[in-house]
Structure 1
């Protein structure tokens, strides 16, 4: 009797696995690197800071050194990187000389700082990541960290 129950349950288990397998390509598609990204300067409660083309605040991680990313997988889950398939463009007051990318990851860099978003920022202009763990800071137009709080 138990053997028959196991055999009867097998098709349901396989159907579940097949259904789950169909979700993976959709998740990968959502994580694709955008073709283009822009950085610009916007006014905030901290003064002028670097934002993306949508006005979302961009942050630097103090453990990053000389255009290298020290943010591991757990970190990236909370602090997603600003990436682009093509070059990142400087607009509206951002210094073109300070904009570059890390080749192997396509992550945007401003000055010496790889750029990140904070998942706790819900709308353009939010500064919820400012000063988190005394390691995450918005970036000024000159490429220096803005260490004050709003």
Structure 2
């Protein structure tokens, strides 16, 4: 019986290590904070007041914190070896290079749009989308192969960090894809970029096929552009 117990305990330990190594490169030790590109002070920002009408060529407004000094973000949630923080980083971040399995640091910004409502963009200002054929409970991605070429998933590599601004960090997480990579989720929904969006603020993927919509900070669809169908054609 003692031998069987030791074998069972060894199997559990190996399974735990495999789970920690899922979705990213195996690294010993806890997730370390991202390095600062240069010493900075905590930024201040005025509360945005989105205009009631969209103006051509006007960059989207990022929803930021009130005009008070920002406290250093704290860990609000941990999933595997990915830490989700309480807000945007208070220093300039220098993530490890993306090797095709995602970045070690991901920024998410709530962004105001007069056309479609508040949506989420990544740290480069690129619009993030949800796919109606995915699932939020449990989080499931159904966009693979050619679909993932047109709609690249937003990936995070562990040990990693996610810094949301204008988004409840408790709604942020990731789901492991079939290829072992980690796809960021908001409200349980896997999020994607659109290959045809060329500049920050582009929403060319809005309403495509009646199933793709920029994702809101709560994981819901944003409202469609005028003339865009809201359901997929049968």
TM-score (norm 2): 0.49
Task: Look up the SS of the partner of 2:118 in the other structure.
Answer: strand
Correspondent of 1:102 among 175, 186, 190? 175
**Alignment correspondent of 2:144:** 72
Structure 2 unaligned blocks of 5 or more: 1-97, 227-234
Which whole-Å deviations, capped at 9, do the CAs of 1:8-35 have from their partners, x for residues lacking one?
A: xxxxxxxxxxxxxxxxxxxxx8634211
Bigger-Rg structure (1/2): 1
Correspondent of 2:213 among 111, 114, 137? 137
Higher relative contact order (CA 8 A, sep 6+): 1
RMSD: 1.7
TM-score (norm 1): 0.75
* Alignment of 1:34 onto 2:103: yes
* Alignment of 1:48 onto 2:118: yes
**Alignment correspondent of 2:130:** 60
Structure 1 unaligned blocks of 5 or more: 1-28
Shift of 1:91: 2.4
Write 1 or 2 for the structure with the bigger share of helix.
Answer: 1
Question: CA contact under 8 A between 1:90 and 1:99: conserved in structure 2?
Answer: no
Which whole-Å deviations, capped at 9, do the CAs of 1:68-109 have from their partners, x for residues lacking one?
A: 000020100100000011345242211101100113421000
Distance 2:161 2:183 in 1: 9
Distance 1:38 1:85 in 2: 13
